[in-house]
Structure 1
Amino acid sequence: MSTAVSGTDHAPSGHLRRDVGFWGLMFVSLGSIIGSGWLLGALTAATLAGPASLVSWLVAAVMLALLALVHAELGASYPAAGGTARFPRFVFGPLAGFTAGWMAWLQAVSIAPIEVEATLSYIDHISWVSSRISILRVDGTLTPTGLVLATVFMAVFTVINLVGVKLMAETNGVAVVWKTAIPLLTVVVLISLSFHPSNFTAGGGFAPYGAHGVFAALPAGVVFALQGFEQAIQMAGEARHPQRDVSRAVLASMAVGTVVYLLLEVAFIGAISPANLAHGWANPVGKGDFGPYATLAVAAGAGWLAALLYIDAVISPAGTGLVYVATSSRISYALGREKELPRVLARVNLRGVPVASILLAFVVGLIAFLPFPSWQSLVGLVTSATAIMYAFAPVSLYALRQRDPDRPRPYRLPAYRLLSPAAFVSANLIVYWSSYEATWKLCVALLVGLAIFAVNRWRLPAADRGPLDARSAAWVWPWLAGMVIIGYLGRYGGNKTIPNWWDLVIVVVFAVVMYEVAEKVALNAAQVRDLVDAEAEDLAAGPLDATAR
């Protein structure tokens, strides 16, 4: 894998360019974490959990921190573009690798449209804009004008990415400085001008909806807001010093994002007018108010802050959308290089840019505006897809530690025998909390992806197919089927057959069992070394044949 982790600034022809340093990687991850989630996550969490939404943020931070630590080791040890699709491939073969990669691509390609949706929803609530441009949404659906504006946003993301990763990283870096400063300014202003400590026990007490509310808030915007740390890993193939910088970028972005979101929730709860909580937390800032912080800023007499927040409602989601167009294209690029999707997706131009993969992200992003016309309608589905993608990393790390022990690891997960299964359990709980509906829909989407995988594999010459290693991927199907069944019988979108708390026990036990099964059926050490070496040889090869499909 030595070629794959080269630190050279200029990639050979046909490869991604290594132009991104530590700050670029850190800003890519932090820019993904601080997006529309900060504008909308606090309100959504508070309506579901009340003041106990603070516990939701803490729970999510701990669970995602475990997963971030796992990804930090893998990303530094095996740095390649689209890493979340490649780690499982090394230990469970191409079938499992494609499954993880398909989930990673589905969630990544959906987030740019989500961020655009958030921007349009904010803009549509500015009377000055709606009176001059026309209404962008009617009953939650984009109007023709709204669709045109959404297309413009997606086109801008695409053009910046087509120019090259260096411009994308620099553009995102400028946006992240703004995106971090405005939330912190909001915290300071709201706490200074309008803070009511009594709100933390108002409307039914600190936890008016009990533990169920705390857990229900996680997939409704909390986990979505904190996810994104893995983007530095997806871009590792373009890092100048991946072994040194990737793990640091992942951990630093996660730490900053967690602190910012906790402060925002405290400021949000404290700034609400106590009169709005007399009848509970259903509408803490007024029914129909989509810009919660702007509403609170006006009520506190800081109209200037509200103006900045509406500007940020464009910059923050746009910066995140820009990053996810890049990362979704790197995942499809990786799947193309592995011959699991058409190889045209892995072709790069003279600038080292995967043009076909970026254009695919643009087209799919536009399609997503049609069946999912609102921010809320996509968040739960993307959260579940992200958790499934994350879940492959802990089992991959454990198996790679056993089968590839001599690999240089610039960052090593401490107590990995304990923290790695804990991270897998965390991902499974997030999938469960995301609701039964989200889980079964994603399993249907996986079947569609596997059909594409099968057709593409059938079209390949026999010599290019390689072993499928279906036995090593056999644990994936009972795992996903089990999560669907538990979701159906559970208390989050299911029929509530399983009693409260017992549902969580069942998820935890099931996850631990599947973790052990996965490690037992993984490829042996020789097969793992062959796949890692094949990865290095592929990345060291010349440009792809222009006629490849």
Structure 2
Amino acid sequence: MRDAPPPPATTGAAPPDSGEPLEHGLKQRHLTMLGLGGVIGAGLFVGSGAGISLAGPGIVVSYLIAGTLAMLVMRMLGEMSAAMPASGSFSVHAERALGRWAGFSVGWLYWFLLVVVLAAEATAAAAIAHGWAPAVPQWGWVLVFMLVFTAANLAAVKNFGEFEFWFASLKVGALVLFLLLGTLAVFGVLPDTEPVGLSHLTGDGGFLPNGWSGVVSGVLVVVFAFGGLEVVTIAAAETADPARAVARAVRSAVVRILFFYVGSMLVIVTVLPWTVQKAGLSPFVTVLDGIGIPGAGRIMEIVVFVALLSALNANLYGSSRMVFSLAERGEGPRALLTVSKGGVPRRAVLASVAFGFVSVLLNLAWPETVFLYMLNSVGAVLLFVWALVALSQLRLRRRIELEAPEALTLRMWLFPWLTVAALVAMAAVLVLMLLDNAARTQVLWSAGATALVLLVAGAREVLERRRARG
């Protein structure tokens, strides 16, 4: 084992080669697919049904709005990560831009978000596997998944990259096939189908059956489905050419994700009336059943299963690199700094997966109490993280232009206006969530968790100042 180098400076722009002690084992294809795999998950395949029931065909607009916000955040992240690649990504950027309190807060909040979601994904995947093989208890499947992906993340980083590459490839392939079948059904090309044209978009109450309020409600449901894109910028530090790799991954992932999300929603609300979709049921299954695809339910069950395992894999990777970066900068236990000869932060991986095991046990023991509170406490954390990303980019962009303009190989569009617009949009989403009875609890719990982390960050700085004076 060997120790990581000293923490990077907290001010100024870093050179393109940040000197990370981690292995540069990820390839461009790994990073591109990671950008897709980290975000195309059960939120799209299952959760989109709730959005359709609220917005009707207007869900297409909801996804356009949410996708545009995610695209702007990714562009900001891409700009900073291409100029200053680091395993802590936006946590490092927040520290350099706003101070140690910001890097500490956003890093630990994001780590907590990932390990809680990781536990939820492991449990959901285990429930599906238990349905296939009832002889194996659900906790047994959880144990199997956690062990397999822990082993994959403890090995060389290229193994993680290969896992995620093939997982993401399967999901992308399933979406491409769905889009193809759905388009053929719209034009009546499939056997025993009649052309539907645009009748379902204009009938059944029209394109906006619940008005613009329905579209807004749809945004509140679907915006969190775009969480996970951030892992691309964390992984960029472990490629041979971080600046070039993250720029290419950001450009390609954003375009493809908007195509897959918006395209699939357009197919779903065109093929069948929006009124047949129900919250909690996969609209993809409903459409495939409606056009006569045999075994549609089982096909989508397999796709959702793969999506959950893919997200588990990506979140374990992202959480371990984030906590490693925190330790590297003195914001976490230094015991997590050691890495293997292959450049893998094994203790950081074990620390992240350990919390995942505990969270799963809490979920299995008290599914209606403790774990539910944990999930609520991270429900809106993603928006707080995105807000700090935008604030960091506002400050760092001007600093980089002065100190190292050649590092700006990827630039945010219409700076600073689109960055400010994204911040306003995030604030609007949070306000609307507070006004929404279903979402208010998540905002309040997430705000409480954020306030607690900020309190700890502030207390640390006060104590350090006193020590420095004393």
TM-score range, shorter chain: 0.7 to 0.9
Q: Contact 1:116/1:150 (CA < 8 Å) preserved in 2?
A: yes
- SS class of match (2:312): helix
CA change 1:448–1:378 in 2 (3 A) is closer
Aligned residue type for 1:363:
A
Q: Contact 1:17/1:352 (CA < 8 Å) preserved in 2?
A: yes
CA change 1:363–1:447 in 2 (3 A) is farther
Q: Counterpart of 2:199?
A: 198
The Cα offsets for residues 17-52 of structure 1, whole Å up to 9 and x where unpaired, read as: 112232221111111011212211331210121111
Q: Aligned partners of 1:357 and 1:317: how far apart in 2?
A: 22
With normalisation by structure 1, the TM-score equals: 0.72
Q: Counterpart of 2:382?
A: 386
CA change 1:24–1:60 in 2 (3 A) is same
Q: Counterpart of 1:252?
A: 252
Q: Counterpart of 2:310?
A: 319
Q: Contact 1:7/1:239 (CA < 8 Å) preserved in 2?
A: no
Q: Counterpart of 1:516?
A: none
Aligned residue type for 1:224:
F
Q: Counterpart of 1:94?
A: 100
The Cα offsets for residues 56-115 of structure 1, whole Å up to 9 and x where unpaired, read as: 001111111111111110010110001111111012211121112122222222332343
Q: Counterpart of 1:264?
A: 264
Q: Aligned partners of 1:455 and 1:254: how far apart in 2?
A: 38
CA change 1:206–1:77 in 2 (3 A) is same
Q: Aligned partners of 1:186 and 1:218: how far apart in 2?
A: 23
Q: Counterpart of 1:418?
A: 417
Q: Contact 2:320/2:349 (CA < 8 Å) preserved in 1?
A: yes
CA change 1:403–1:295 in 2 (3 A) is closer
Q: Counterpart of 1:43?
A: 49
Shift of 1:118: 4.2
1:50-449 counterparts in 2 under 5 A? 50-120=56-126, 122=128, 129=132, 132-133=133-134, 145-193=137-185, 196=196, 197-220=198-221, 222-272=222-272, 274=273, 281=275, 284-285=276-277, 290-369=281-360, 370=362, 373=367, 382=378, 384-404=380-400, 405-407=402-404, 408-434=407-433, 435-449=439-453
What percent of counterpart residues are identical? 24
Aligned residue type for 2:380:
S
Q: Aligned partners of 1:117 and 1:292: how far apart in 2?
A: 22
Q: Counterpart of 2:17?
A: 6
The Cα offsets for residues 509-544 of structure 1, whole Å up to 9 and x where unpaired, read as: xxxxxxxxxxxxxxxxxxxxxxxxxxxxxxxxxxxx
Q: Aligned partners of 2:395 and 2:358: how far apart in 1?
A: 38
Shift of 1:172: 0.9
Shift of 1:256: 0.5
CA change 1:439–1:159 in 2 (3 A) is same
Q: Aligned partners of 1:449 and 1:367: how far apart in 2?
A: 20
Q: Aligned partners of 1:416 and 1:46: how far apart in 2?
A: 34
Q: Aligned partners of 1:432 and 1:332: how far apart in 2?
A: 30
CA change 1:366–1:212 in 2 (3 A) is farther
Shift of 1:248: 1.8
The Cα offsets for residues 317-344 of structure 1, whole Å up to 9 and x where unpaired, read as: 2112101100011111111111112122
Q: CA RMSD of the aligned region, Å? A: 3.2
Q: Contact 2:377/2:448 (CA < 8 Å) preserved in 1?
A: no
**Which ranges in structure 2 are unaligned for 5 or more consecutive residues?**
1-7, 186-192, 434-438
Q: Counterpart of 2:27?
A: 21
CA change 1:466–1:35 in 2 (3 A) is farther
Aligned residue type for 1:179:
K
The Cα offsets for residues 395-427 of structure 1, whole Å up to 9 and x where unpaired, read as: 212212333422221112232121221222233
CA change 1:449–1:395 in 2 (3 A) is closer
Shift of 1:240: 1.0
Question: Which of 190-199 and 207-216 deviates more?
Answer: 190-199
Q: Aligned partners of 1:202 and 1:118: how far apart in 2?
A: 36
Q: Aligned partners of 1:214 and 1:376: how far apart in 2?
A: 27
Aligned residue type for 2:386:
Y
Q: Aligned partners of 1:366 and 1:328: how far apart in 2?
A: 14
Question: Which of 349-358 and 198-207 deviates more?
Answer: 198-207
Aligned residue type for 2:260:
V
Aligned residue type for 1:294:
V
Shift of 1:246: 0.8
Structure with bigger RCO (C-alpha 8 Å, 6+ apart):
2
With normalisation by structure 2, the TM-score equals: 0.83
Q: Aligned partners of 2:312 and 2:72: how far apart in 1?
A: 25
Q: Contact 1:5/1:237 (CA < 8 Å) preserved in 2?
A: no
Question: Which of 24-33 and 344-353 deviates more?
Answer: 344-353
CA change 1:49–1:358 in 2 (3 A) is same
Q: Aligned partners of 1:429 and 1:423: how far apart in 2?
A: 10
Question: What is the number of residues matched between the two proteins?
Answer: 436
The Cα offsets for residues 290-349 of structure 1, whole Å up to 9 and x where unpaired, read as: 343234323422115544322212212211210110001111111111111212223222
**Which ranges in structure 1 are unaligned for 5 or more consecutive residues?**
137-144, 468-549
- SS class of match (1:207): coil
Question: Which of 261-270 and 299-308 deviates more?
Answer: 299-308
Q: Aligned partners of 2:124 and 2:161: how far apart in 1?
A: 22
Q: Aligned partners of 1:153 and 1:176: how far apart in 2?
A: 17
Q: Contact 1:33/1:227 (CA < 8 Å) preserved in 2?
A: yes
Q: Aligned partners of 2:144 and 2:462: how far apart in 1?
A: 38
CA change 1:198–1:17 in 2 (3 A) is same
Aligned residue type for 1:81:
S
Q: Aligned partners of 2:205 and 2:128: how far apart in 1?
A: 30
Q: Aligned partners of 1:346 and 1:236: how far apart in 2?
A: 19
The Cα offsets for residues 260-316 of structure 1, whole Å up to 9 and x where unpaired, read as: 1112112222333x5xx6xxx4xx2468x6343234323422115544322212212
Aligned residue type for 2:431:
Y
The Cα offsets for residues 444-467 of structure 1, whole Å up to 9 and x where unpaired, read as: 2234435665788899xx799889
Q: Aligned partners of 1:294 and 1:120: how far apart in 2?
A: 20
Q: Aligned partners of 2:378 and 2:213: how far apart in 1?
A: 21
- SS class of match (2:205): coil
1:533-548 counterparts in 2 under 5 A? none
Aligned residue type for 1:165:
V
